Amino acid sequence: MMNQGMSGYDSSFQDPPIASILLYSFLENSPNCAFASELCALKNQLLGSKLHFESDAFDDGELQTDGNRIGQLQDREPEEEIFRIIGAQLAEIGDKLAAEIEAPFVHRLAQQFMVENMSKEEVTRHLSQAVQVVVQRMPLEMEQERAMLLAAMVLAKKVANVVPPRLQQVFNTTINYINNNLHDYVNNLAPES
């Protein structure tokens, strides 16, 4: 079975984990998700891996014994908040795109995530091919990198809706795809301060 842990990331992209923040925020703000409990478990893992999430969605108002609110880390950076906002904005745009992607197309991609013994590279290649197909159907006025990012995140959401138990694998594969193909674009999404 494919390793579904966070250790599948290229460590050069982990500091800061911008793609993870962006994709998590996208999924968290996407409507009609069938993977809410899996997303909660993913949040806990991401928090454990030192992501500095501090948003209303993470803050359920409960205080921990040390007086901090659950989900808040005091050393969060403003840049992370910017990427959470961008992820939420992309979720709104992605909702329109998601409606145009046919179920059989998504089910074929979801099947790739369920194949045992398939390498991380093979699954990422299948996602990359699916992104290319979706991008070809998108409006021409959208810049190529933005279209690729949006398509990858929408496909992640749709596949996770088909196979919720595979959310972590889908998340990791999508992060690998983003880091391999859109790293510079994603890092330049935040406005200059």
* Residues present in the chain in total: 193
Q: Is residue 2 a part of any domain in this protein?
A: no
pTM of the model: 0.78
Q: Is residue 98 a part of any domain in this protein?
A: yes
Q: Is residue 192 a part of any domain in this protein?
A: no
Q: Is residue 50 a part of any domain in this protein?
A: yes
Closest CA relative to residue 109, chosen from 123, 120, 97, 121: 123
Give me the CATH number covering residue 179: 1.10.437
193 residues of the chain, pLDDT tens digit each: 333 333 333 433 344 489 999 999 999 999 989 999 999 999 888 876 654 444 434 444 433 433 433 344 334 578 789 999 999 999 999 988 888 899 999 999 999 999 988 899 999 999 999 999 999 988 778 899 999 999 999 999 999 999 999 999 999 999 999 999 999 999 888 776 4
DSSP assigned state of 141: T
Q: How many domains does the chain have?
A: 1
Q: CA–CA separation, 154 vs 174, rounded Å?
A: 10
Query: Phi/psi of residue 72, each to 5°?
Result: -105, 135
Please give the residue range of the domain that contains residue 60: 14-187
Q: Is residue 162 a part of any domain in this protein?
A: yes
Q: Is residue 9 a part of any domain in this protein?
A: no
